Amino acid sequence: MTWVLALILLPLVGALVLCGLRKNDRTAMIVALTFSIVEFLLMIPMWASYHPSGDRLQQTSSVDWIPTFGVHISFGIDGIALIMIAVITFLVPIVIGALGTADKLPEGRSAGGYLALILVQQALTIAVFAATDVFLFYVLFEIMLIPMYFLIGGYGGANRQYAAVKFFLYSFLGGLIMLASAIGAYSIAADKLGKGTFDWATLVTVVRDAPTGTQIWLFLGFFLAFAIKAPLVPFHTWLPDAAKEAPIGVAVLIVGVLDKVGTFGFLRYCLPMFPAASKTLAPLVLILAVIGVLYGSILAAGQQDLKRFVAYVSIAHFGFIALGIFAFTQQATVGSVTYMLNHSLATGMLIVVLGFVMARGGSTRISDYGGMYKVTPLLGGMLLIAGLSTLSLPGTNSFVSEFLVLLGSFETEPVYAILASVGMVLAAVYVLWLYQRLMTGPVRGDALVGAGGGPGTAIAPELGAKKTIKDLGAKELAMLVPLVVLIIGLGFYPKPVLDTVGPSVQATLSAVQGGH
């Protein structure tokens, strides 16, 4: 059994165990944490046994599933999938830790069910990144929605039903169109090889030679599914709703991990399978990407709600990622791939920290807060670190990726790169403005000083601050410190990640350049 298979199966086992623990929340918590930490530890030998300069796909395993249609259950990883899987295993313990610190279960719900769903989600997401059969990928892409549907719809906020259905339908319909394209690719293979297959490695070599017109149609099928998932403007409106209604931990999963399936799909499916279409349609994607950067940033600055704020920040960042992918240079693409990782860490941390803010204040409205730094300096410092990584300050992880994306895309697409650079200023606007509103000034706002000290009322901190508002505790620090270490560590020494993804990126790019 490969490490990859082990990583997919372990959380499923964990979920089964949790189903038997519905009565005891505390034990469920310990079991889930144990499984997720063992999962993280299992990731380490997987990374260690990966050879960046080795085969395109490594640690492969395959069994027949529907032989008539050439469908296999096959898994394997390249450098890009590897780091995405790695970041999932890193984040899930934090997601689990969020229950009880940032999240509370709704009345009458048990922790076991919630945590089981999280672990199932983890297994399915890892499987999506590891799938090397296009049909299997499609199936997992759709099945992955089910636990998430229940996580949002069952454990979310007031408007959770609407958000869950919107999320499900949006993604589901994208998937259906992708299925049509996948079948199209299958039939091209059937024509050329005499026998159809969904095996990714085989399909790539066959479909890439199809006429550009055909490629464009098939490309669009995949593209739309991924653009919804990513999400690119204008397919983005499900994300703010989903992020707002979802519990904090689930929001980390959605924004930090699930969405990356979209940009991962661009790299794994759109580019190598349809190189000619990718190049033809690149200007369209680049325009959407730049619009995403600017529009997402402006909207982030205009949000009144903390969770919707994070969603729009992510939309801006996905614009950067898409820009880098469709600029077709080594620097830009490596930048995008590392951006996928770094965005998970930075935004993951941002959501968790804001979760802690909301757990203290009990409100998601930004205007309900003010002057928190006086009361909770540690929390303020953590928000600042997450914010600085979000605005890509040099010395944090995100700087390396954003700089590479812009530098690399400037080589081939200077106009788009310059337009996207404006996003650097806008990022400072929305991050620092948020920080200013939450943390600085006199302690004020409903959430902090209670009724009578409504928004706009200034109250001396020693008189007004609720005594109940405490600074970060040990549990919360334990969740944040690993993130801080990685954010700064990868800011100064990103080389291990760059070396891991470099050859896979190069292979992806040479597939595009080699196309007609």
Partner 1 sequence: MTASSWLLVAFPALGALILLAGGRRTDAWGHLLGCATVIASFVYGLVLFFGSDGKPVDTTIYSWFPVGNLSVDLGFRIDALSLVFVLLITGVGSLIHVYSIGYMADDPGRRKFFGYLNLFVASMLVLVLGNNFISLYLGWEGVGLASYLLIGWYTDRPSAATAAKKAFLMNRVGDVGLAIAIFLMFKYLGTVTYAGVFEHIGSAPPGVITAIAILLLLGACGKSGQFPLQAWLPDAMEGPTPVSALIHAATMVTAGVYLVARSNPIFNETSDGRLIVALVGAFTLLLGSIIGCAYDDIKKVLAYSTVSQIGYMMLAVGLGPFGYALGIMHLLTHGFFKAGLFLGAGSVMHAMNDEVDMRKFGGLYKRMPITFATFGLGYLALIGFPFLSGYFSKDAIIEAAFGQEGWRGWALGLAAMLGAALTAFYMTRLVLMTFFGKERWKDIKSSDGRDFHPHESPSVMTVPMIILAIGSVGAGAFFSLGGRLSSWLTPSLGELSEAEHSAIPHALIPWITVLLSALGVLVAWLLFGRRETPVERPQNVSAVVRAARKDLYGNALNEALVATPGMWLTRFSVYLDSRGVDGAVNGLAAALGGGSGRLRRLQNGFVRSYALSMLAGSFVLVLALLLVRFS
Q: Which of 16, 49, 211, 433 touches partner 1 (CB under 8 A)? A: 433
Q: Which of 330, 363, 367, 457 touches partner 1 (CB under 8 A)? A: 330
Instruction: Give 461-470 contacts, CB < 8 A, sequence gap 24+.
Output: 461/371, 461/374, 461/375, 465/374, 465/375, 469/360, 469/361, 469/375, 469/376, 470/360, 470/376
Spell out a b/e string for 165-187, using b for 16 or more CB atoms within 10 Å of the CB, else e. ebbbebbbebbebbbebbbbbbe
Between CA 297 and CA 425 the distance in angstroms is 9
Map the footprint of partner 1 across residues 230-249, applying CB under 8 A: 233-237
Q: Which of 388, 318, 312 lies closest to 353, judged by CA?
A: 388
CB-neighbour burial class of residue 67 (10 A; exposed 0-12, middle 13-18, buried 19+): exposed
Q: Which of 115, 124, 60, 52 lies closest to 88, judged by CA?
A: 124
Using CB under 8 A as the binding rule, whether residue 512 contacts partner 1 is answered as no
Using CB under 8 A as the binding rule, whether residue 411 contacts partner 1 is answered as yes
Using CB under 8 A as the binding rule, whether residue 432 contacts partner 1 is answered as yes
Minimum distance between the CB of residue 312 and partner 1, rounded to whole angstroms? 9
In the complex with partner 1, which residue's Cβ is closer, 322 or 334?
334
In the complex with partner 1, which residue's Cβ is closer, 125 or 409?
409
Q: Which of 73, 146, 407, 469 touches partner 1 (CB under 8 A)? A: 407
In the complex with partner 1, which residue's Cβ is closer, 411 or 482?
411
Map the footprint of partner 1 across residues 201-230, applying CB under 8 A: 216, 220, 224
Using CB under 8 A as the binding rule, whether residue 436 contacts partner 1 is answered as yes
Binding characters for partner 1, 271-310, by CB under 8 A (x = yes) = ----------x--x----------x--xx-xxx-------
In the complex with partner 1, which residue's Cβ is closer, 200 or 416?
416
Minimum distance between the CB of residue 324 and partner 1, rounded to whole angstroms? 11
- Which range in 7-15, 31-39, 101-109, 438-446 contacts partner 1 by CB under 8 A? 438-446
Q: Which of 12, 428, 469, 478 touches partner 1 (CB under 8 A)? A: 428
- Contact status, residue 354 vs residue 365, Cβ threshold 8 Å: no
Map the footprint of partner 1 across residues 365-404, applying CB under 8 A: 371, 373-374, 380, 388, 393-395, 400, 403-404
Using CB under 8 A as the binding rule, whether residue 424 contacts partner 1 is answered as yes
Alpha helix positions (H), 159-305: 160-193, 200-207, 212-229, 238-245, 248-251, 260-265, 271-273, 275-302
Place of tokens 């699930």: 258
SS3 category, 516: coil
Binding characters for partner 1, 107-136, by CB under 8 A (x = yes) = ------------------------------
- Contact status, residue 105 vs residue 155, Cβ threshold 8 Å: yes
Between CA 77 and CA 56 the distance in angstroms is 8
Using CB under 8 A as the binding rule, whether residue 457 contacts partner 1 is answered as no
In the complex with partner 1, which residue's Cβ is closer, 16 or 425?
425
Between CA 307 and CA 251 the distance in angstroms is 9
- Contact status, residue 375 vs residue 422, Cβ threshold 8 Å: no
In the complex with partner 1, which residue's Cβ is closer, 198 or 235?
235
Place of tokens 């550009």: 212
Minimum distance between the CB of residue 15 and partner 1, rounded to whole angstroms? 24
Per-residue DSSP letter, 455:
T
Minimum distance between the CB of residue 476 and partner 1, rounded to whole angstroms? 15
Using CB under 8 A as the binding rule, whether residue 86 contacts partner 1 is answered as no
Using CB under 8 A as the binding rule, whether residue 414 contacts partner 1 is answered as yes
Between CA 241 and CA 253 the distance in angstroms is 15
Query: Cβ neighbours of residue 30 under 8 Å, at least 6 residues apart?
Result: none
Minimum distance between the CB of residue 144 and partner 1, rounded to whole angstroms? 16
Q: Which of 41, 66, 173, 477 touches partner 1 (CB under 8 A)? A: 173
Between CA 459 and CA 463 the distance in angstroms is 7
For residue 284, CA distances in Å to 55, 281, 289, 322, 508 come to 33, 5, 9, 11, 20
* Ramachandran quadrant class, 490 (left: phi over 0; alpha: psi -120 to 50; beta: rest): alpha
Q: Which of 40, 73, 172, 202 touches partner 1 (CB under 8 A)? A: 172
Binding characters for partner 1, 466-505, by CB under 8 A (x = yes) = --------------------------xxxx--x---x---
Minimum distance between the CB of residue 283 and partner 1, rounded to whole angstroms? 9
Minimum distance between the CB of residue 126 and partner 1, rounded to whole angstroms? 26
**What amino acid is encoded at 365 in this protein?**
R
Using CB under 8 A as the binding rule, whether residue 16 contacts partner 1 is answered as no
